Amino acid sequence: MTDEVAGAHRRGWARVLATVVRVTRDLGAAEDAVQEAFAAAVELWPRQGVPDDTTAWLTTVARNRALDARRREQTLARKLPLLIVPGDDAPAGREAIEDERLRLVFTCCHPALSLPSRVALTLRLVCGVPTPDVARLFLVSQPTMAARLTRAKKKIQAAGIPYRVPAEHELPDRLPAALAVVTLLLTEGHTASRGSGLGRPELVRTATELAEVLAELMPDEAEVLGLLATVRLAAARRPARLDDDGGLVLLSAQDRSRWDRSLISAGCALAAQAMRRAVPGRAGPYALQAAISAVHSEAATYEATDWPQVVALYDLLLAVAPSPVTALARVAAWSHVAGPGPALAEVASLGDDARLRGYYGVPAVRADLLRRLGRTAEAAASYEEAAALTANEVERSSLLTQAAGLRGTGRRPG
């Protein structure tokens, strides 16, 4: 894929697909048509030049491919083209784009599908996250995820799930999947599972837009407010994550004067509001995640972080949303309360969890604990182990640099 087509894919995949779904009423057929449009761009743009509006060009080609496919099948011929749903006056301009994407989000998040299938399908179709990356986010194999996506698309088609934004009373049933999608989208956008860049800004933008739309739809929902708070706080800290050479700067070493204080203030206010609106004693995972992020963001220095409060919030989070990755994060925080020695034993126990097999975070946390214990050779080996398990080149470089520093070489091992 050329750079121009790759850029168009990042910017326009979801918008093109959302428009074509209105034509086909079939997620599988729409996805096929959009993929054909991108294939045509790879072939034609080098010869004919890149169009001024790549998204419009791709939408036109994909829509025509979809209509041609329907004609070839000689099905519903008299109802073509289905460019406008009867009785549906879609708004124009940017509002139409957001309306189309929201329709697609809620179609994929229909409660007829299992929650993992809803989330995976939305990430793949709405957000354009490649199937291998979706599989990594779910800690499953690529064939397993591909099969899950295929079954979900067939079920939507067979069940005749309508392509629309649900009525207000239907929103709560769709909300858990929509929130999970935005969270995983933000996770992949914040630190990409693979590639030469630390993150994927286009996914962060999509996550931000979807979180804002959800907040407009459900402004009093604690979990929505918590999600939006997390988005705001992540954006506030983003300027300090890379040094002038493009290297990763860990939270413990970040220059906090580079954080966006207005976004910090807004995010912390949203986090507090989310916790206030939560059912007393029963805060949900998104409100709790926002609260954890707020504690980190409010600390003047890394050392001044209220670690006991962070650990207590992680304990609450694990009670409502158990996760091995969350458990690992909790141990990392607990190490600043109990010390690196006891935490090291906890990491060893978590390393036996099959779901974390091959996850770079386990040896990375172990390496930090070993470093703090002065066991430099073991720490360096763990940093190198973590580097071998990540496909993100910026993270790998950071891990290898830390290993090299401990070995006293001043350079990364080959």
Question: Is the residue at 177 inside a domain?
Answer: yes
* Location of structure tokens 């995010």: 267
> Could you give the number of structural domains in the chain?
4
Nearest Cα neighbor of 119 from 102, 98, 137 is 137
Q: For residue 397, give the H/E element and its range.
A: helix 393-407
**Cα–Cα distance measured from residue 124 to residue 145, given in angstroms and rounded to the nearest whole number:** 10
Structure letter (DSSP) for residue 167: P
- Which one of 33, 49, 79 terminates a domain? 79
- 314 & 356 share domain: no
114 in the same domain as 64: no
Cα–Cα distance list, 259 to 189, 197, 309 (Å): 18, 20, 22
Q: Show the CA angle centred on residue 301, arms to residues 236 and 370, nearest 5°.
A: 105
Same domain, 314 and 391: no
In this structure, is residue 341 part of a structural domain? no
Three-state SS at 195: strand
Task: Please report the pLDDT score of residue 99 as a whole number.
Answer: 54
The pLDDT of residue 89 is 38
Q: Which residues contact 5 (CB under 8 A, 6 or more apart)?
A: 38, 41, 42, 45
- Expressed as residue numbers, the domain containing 367 is 346-413
Count of alpha carbons within 13 Å of 311, Cβ hemisphere only?
13
**One domain, residues 160 and 131:** yes
* pLDDT for residue 71: 66
- Which pTM was predicted? 0.73
Domain membership flag for residue 244: no
Q: With the C-alpha atoms ordered 132, 138, 139, 145, is the resulting torsion angle positive or negative?
A: negative
8 and 64 fall within a common domain: yes
Same domain? 19 vs 47 = yes
On the question of a cis peptide bond just before residue 51, with omega within 30 degrees of 0, the verdict is no
Note down pLDDT in tens along the chain; length 414 residues. 577 887 788 777 777 887 787 777 677 778 888 888 888 888 888 888 888 888 889 888 888 888 877 665 544 334 333 333 333 433 333 344 345 666 777 777 777 788 788 888 888 877 777 888 888 878 788 888 888 888 888 887 777 776 666 677 777 777 888 888 888 889 988 998 888 999 988 889 888 988 888 888 788 899 999 999 999 999 999 999 999 999 999 999 999 999 999 999 999 999 999 999 987 778 999 999 999 999 999 999 999 999 999 999 999 999 999 999 999 999 999 999 999 999 999 999 998 888 898 899 999 999 999 999 999 999 999 999 999 999 999 999 999 999 999 988 644 443
Cβ–Cβ under 8 Å, residues 200 and 192: yes
From CA 274, how far away is CA 47, in angstroms rounded?
A: 53
Q: Which two tokens stand for residue 16?
A: 């093109």
Question: Looking at residue 92, what is its pLDDT?
Answer: 37
Considering the domain boundaries, does residue 316 fall inside one? yes
- Secondary structure element (H or E) that encloses residue 332, with its range: helix 324-338
Domain contains 243: no
Cβ of 329: how many Cβ atoms within 10 Å? Answer: 18
Q: Which of 26, 47, 79 is the last residue of a domain?
A: 79
Amino acid at 413: P
